[in-house]
Structure 1
């Protein structure tokens, strides 16, 4: 069964950095897991950068998901399998930053900082 969930375009409050959803099929062993991550794009002094372009890629550079940050500088990516990812963020006038991380990360840690 598919259940649509409408999310507000701009979420308020603290950012949840990792959410794992496990599903099982009756009569089958094991569970499938999909992960939702959230991070922020920030200036060197910690100010959020709204409207930043963010793309998650495989370590080989294949695109997985592209989005933009909210007015609070947050981004969300849904339906990721566990693994290693490269996060590429671009901000007009500041250039591009790239960092790699594991999903799920031990303490979240999906932020990108422009120094």
Structure 2
């Protein structure tokens, strides 16, 4: 599969439940490739209407460098709303920092270490 110019361009995070299975499966979309994958492989068949087609088109055009990535994101959000999918509102999305080990946890002790 050939890579598109803007495949890995970052977008503002968009968290949407794109799979209708048991429970809720939220998916974080951070790049154009994330949007395209969800549109192509995870979108419910019964919600592939005109908004879905428009979102696919906008995403492809953004990946080819012909459209602003934020326009593709907006089309994706519009399609998700039209499909009545669960979404996390933007004001509740926090930028995720680097992963750190939990406080109070230490790595394995060396055999030379003495307990005090």
Normalising by structure 1, we get a TM-score of: 0.26
Normalising by structure 2, we get a TM-score of: 0.26
Structure (1/2) with the larger helix percentage: 2
Instruction: Look at both structures and tell me which one has the larger radius of gyration over its CA atoms.
Output: 2
Structure (1/2) with the larger strand percentage: 1
